[in-house]
A and B are shown apart, each in its own frame.
Chain A
Amino acid sequence: MTPDKNFMFALVLGILMALTTPTLAALGEIRLDVYVSLFTLEYFAAKAILRPRLRVRDPVAITLLFLFLLIVALRVMEVLGVAPLS
């Protein structure tokens, strides 16, 4: 029996995120953008490997990509001294 790749995707993503959150918390990380960036990375990595089929065009990927770009833009602005993030 071949495991269903849609279920595998949810399972792998759940395990990765369940490992990421306590690990970063244990390291004392208090920046939310670090967590969200890692979730985004994990989502796209799992999606690229397992290639799940979703009902509609992937709104989660679009949202995560938008958040990731926003985080990167804010970090770049912070480095340039335009608008500090925190």
Chain B
Amino acid sequence: MERYNCLGISLLAFGATVTPFFYFIMSNVPLTALGVSIMILGAVMALTPINPVPKPAVRGLLEGAMLSLEGLLEELDLSERGYYVAHEDGLVYVYVPSSKAEPPNVDSKPRSLVVELKGQPYLVLIPPASALAREYPSTSLEDAVSTVLVDLAELCSGVRVAKGPGYIRVELKRPRGRRAPSRFKRVLGSLEACVTACLAASALKRPVYVSSEVEEKGWRRVTLEVA
């Protein structure tokens, strides 16, 4: 338990102790209200999660994972768009076809690095934010993307998400992640798009791929196609 949460519990306990005293013994309503406000603030602080890992460290870990995948893609000479698929274990996998292919239709999680689906071989990768998609589930995709990209990794300063038929448009304000290497970007999208696609695949439980990315006046507009 972090000190911040302990302080919250202390405030909550203090408020819960003094509020009945102010109300029943002193019969003072403003002081009772003060006690109630201390309780509310204490409860909020007690329930607030703390990020024990600094944001630049999270960003550095994601960028490191991106560079190692770039090396693998370069070595295997793969350049087709990858499909983000969420499996029952909560992780998101990327299926990279060796040549242009339809979105993979998979039911169970892959058992090897290369799988063959309908005669088409796919390289199966675990993208940098795969585990984050499992750790940060949310009822709203915008909340999940904002939590991971803005609060956790500080890869951008704001997020807007719009859903359409068969696509999701995500607008990222002031993206500040390291420029993605060319092969990684072609296959998985930029790091921010990769994280977004992971979270979208996890939320929708359907294959997703990064369709396009456009930079415009401090915004990056990422379009994800839902297969």
Query: Taking beta carbons and an 8 Å cutoff, which residues of A are in contact with B?
Result: 1-2, 4-7, 9-10, 13-14, 17-18, 20-22, 24-25, 29-32, 35-36, 39, 43, 51-56, 58-60, 64
Contact = CB atoms under 8 A, between A and B. Distances in A.
9 contacts: A2-B151, A4-B51, A6-B49, A13-B41, A21-B34, A21-B37, A32-B23, A36-B36, A52-B48
A31 B29 CA distance: 7
B154 interface: yes
Contacts of B37: 17-18, 20-21, 35, 39
Given A53-B49, A56-B47, A17 B41 contact: yes
Q: From DSSP, what is the main secondary structure of chain A's interface residues?
A: helix
Contacts of A21: 30, 33-34, 37
What is the interface residue range for chain B against chain A? Answer: 20 to 34
Nearest to A43: B40
A35 B34 CA distance: 9
Given A35-B30, A54-B48, 20 more contacts: A2-B151, A5-B150, A7-B48, A10-B48, A14-B41, A17-B41, A21-B30, A25-B30, A30-B29, A32-B29, A36-B33, A39-B37, A51-B143, A52-B44, A53-B147, A53-B151, A55-B48, A56-B47, A59-B47, A60-B47
B157 interface: yes
Given A21-B34, A25-B30, A32-B33, A64 B40 contact: yes
- Counting chain A CB atoms within 10 Å of each CB, the highest count among B32, B37, B55 belongs to B37
B194 interface: no
Given A51-B143, A54-B48, A2 B33 contact: no
Contacts of B41: 10, 13-14, 17
A29 to B, nearest CB: 8
B15 to A, nearest CB: 11
Contacts of A2: 150-151, 154, 157
A30 to B, nearest CB: 5
A20 B150 CA distance: 31
Contacts of A10: 41, 44-45, 48
Contacts of A7: 48
